[in-house]
């Protein structure tokens, strides 16, 4: 008996050592996150917010984030925000286009702009020592844009050409535009960033000028900087170069209209396309909602997979194993898109034409398993993957600046990494099952598909598979 007890004790000892080691690593990890530089946020008298995070690097990214995008548009002016992006770097009232380009070239910097559904950002990557000059350039671009008819005409031709390229070559974006248009039909969140071609052809200089005058106000802006910078210096630069940005509105300020989710579908059948492109989603929650993080963990648990990367048969994701073993799809990705007051939680996949039904069956089977029998071990794995993905996405000044700008613009602050890690760690399997039951089980989905989708089940069959008979 004594020998058996000794053997048992010896067998247990490595496990305890492993537990202690894991605990030590977790503590060191949390300590490292706690020691990360804090994001400083200051609100100027005009309402403009200045946010920064100092980094031990000679590179910096400066972003000017604005509450402007397709969700602030209506069916008559949809596309205006993205249109302005195309003419923003064509010169200002102080600088010609060539002078602007020459200054940027001499700095070795890179200017960029992007428009989304809820935000527009003008961004520059540069050396940290050139941040003052870059802020002055961005301030000039957003305050004094030179919008002439010739530039508008050229931008119109470019945009119409780009829309054709997207529709022909980037089917993933096309599917997600259709998904928003059917899920939020009749609301501003259904608007595409590009806008319809008819609007692009009719937008004029005065429309762009009116867009800038009504949206580019100090309370709607965030100056986000990551690099070897100091908050006090940035505040002075913002006062100097952006202090004249108006803070009052002529009439009512632009606001986000209410959204309404509609369970529905849109199919664009085109048998000339080799693969079926499908997205299925339910209504999620807003970015500040307490359910947002458990939904992200649930999405991470479903995971993503691409057959070109291999490894599916050894994946912890049951859907990836099924896709690789039975050749259900070429790739899939689970997503949790969050906006200010709503969201979309679902999956996008590409598959052979005759595999649509089988792939969707496996997807919905996994969704129902999330609602009813997901285990602690699976949730622990999903939490680690989520933390890895979030932290890996914050490599370098550009990613950090974008994270700062987006969070401060939406929520007024940037959540410290140690807080985020703690909230993820507190998610349990019961939390995941609860949010899955709340948002997924027996809910009407939105479905968007493009390509040879004859094999995709009809909407009523998809809807009926959103629940299991429970005893």
- CA-to-CA separations, 214 to 78, 116, 224, 248, in angstroms, rounded: 15, 18, 22, 10
User: How does DSSP assign 424-435, residue by residue?
Assistant: HHT--HHHHHHH
**Separation of alpha carbons 52 and 38, rounded Å:** 9
**Separation of alpha carbons 178 and 269, rounded Å:** 13
* 26 within 8 A of 383, measured Cβ to Cβ: no
C-alpha closest to that of 262 among 178, 186, 339: 186
How open is the CA angle 146-256-441, to the nearest 5 degrees?
A: 135
**Separation of alpha carbons 412 and 93, rounded Å:** 32
C-alpha closest to that of 142 among 132, 134, 151: 134
**Separation of alpha carbons 215 and 207, rounded Å:** 12
Which residues have a catalytic role annotated? 85
How open is the CA angle 154-155-160, to the nearest 5 degrees?
A: 105
**Separation of alpha carbons 415 and 438, rounded Å:** 26
């Amino acid at each position: 008996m004594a020998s058996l007890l000794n053997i048992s004790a010896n067998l247990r000892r490595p496990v305890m050592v492993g537990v202690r080691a894991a605990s030590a690593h977790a503590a060191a990890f949390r300590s490292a996150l706690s020691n990360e530089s804090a994001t400083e946020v200051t609100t100027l008298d005009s309402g403009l917010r200045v946010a920064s995070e100092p980094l031990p690097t000679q590179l910096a990214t400066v972003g000017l984030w604005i509450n402007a995008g397709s969700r602030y548009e209506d069916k008559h002016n949809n596309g205006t925000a993205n249109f302005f992006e195309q003419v923003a770097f064509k010169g200002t009232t102080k600088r010609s286009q060539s002078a602007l380009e020459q200054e940027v070239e001499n700095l070795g910097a890179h200017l960029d702009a992007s428009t989304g559904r809820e935000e527009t950002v003008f961004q520059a990557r540069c050396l940290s020592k050139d941040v003052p000059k870059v802020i002055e350039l961005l301030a000039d671009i957003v305050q004094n844009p030179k919008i002439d008819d010739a530039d508008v005409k050229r931008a119109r031709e470019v945009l119409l050409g780009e829309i054709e390229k997207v529709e022909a070559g980037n089917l993933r974006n096309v599917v997600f535009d259709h998904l928003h248009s059917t899920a939020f039909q009749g609301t501003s969140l259904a608007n595409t960033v590009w806008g319809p071609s008819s609007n692009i052809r009719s937008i004029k200089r005065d429309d762009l000028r009116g867009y800038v005058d009504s949206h580019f106000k100090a309370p709607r802006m965030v100056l986000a900087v990551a690099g070897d910078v100091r908050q006090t210096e940035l505040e002075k630069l913002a006062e100097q170069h952006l202090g004249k940005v108006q803070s009052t509105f002529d009439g009512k300020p632009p606001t986000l209209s209410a959204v309404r989710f509609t369970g529905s579908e849109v199919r664009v059948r085109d048998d000339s396309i080799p693969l079926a492109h499908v997205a299925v989603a339910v209504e999620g929650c807003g970015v500040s909602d307490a359910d947002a993080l458990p939904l992200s963990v649930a999405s991470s648990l479903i995971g993503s997979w691409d057959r070109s990367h291999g490894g599916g048969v050894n994946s912890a994701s049951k859907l990836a194993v099924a896709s690789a073993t039975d050749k259900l799809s070429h790739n899939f990705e689970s997503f949790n898109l969050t906006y200010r007051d709503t969201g979309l939680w679902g999956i996008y996949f590409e598959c052979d034409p005759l595999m649509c039904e089988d792939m969707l069956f496996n997807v919905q089977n996994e969704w129902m398993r999330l609602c009813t029998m997901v285990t602690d071990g699976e949730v622990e794995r999903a939490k680690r993957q989520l933390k890895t993905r979030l932290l890996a996405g914050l490599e370098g000044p550009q990613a950090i600046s974008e994270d700062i700008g987006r969070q401060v613009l939406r929520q007024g602050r940037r959540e410290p990494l140690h807080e985020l890690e703690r909230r993820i760690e507190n998610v349990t399997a019961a939390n995941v099952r609860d949010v899955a039951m709340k948002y997924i089980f027996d809910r009407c989905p939105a479905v968007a598909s493009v390509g040879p989708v004859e094999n995709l089940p009809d909407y009523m069959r998809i809807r009926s598979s959103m629940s299991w008979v429970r005893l």
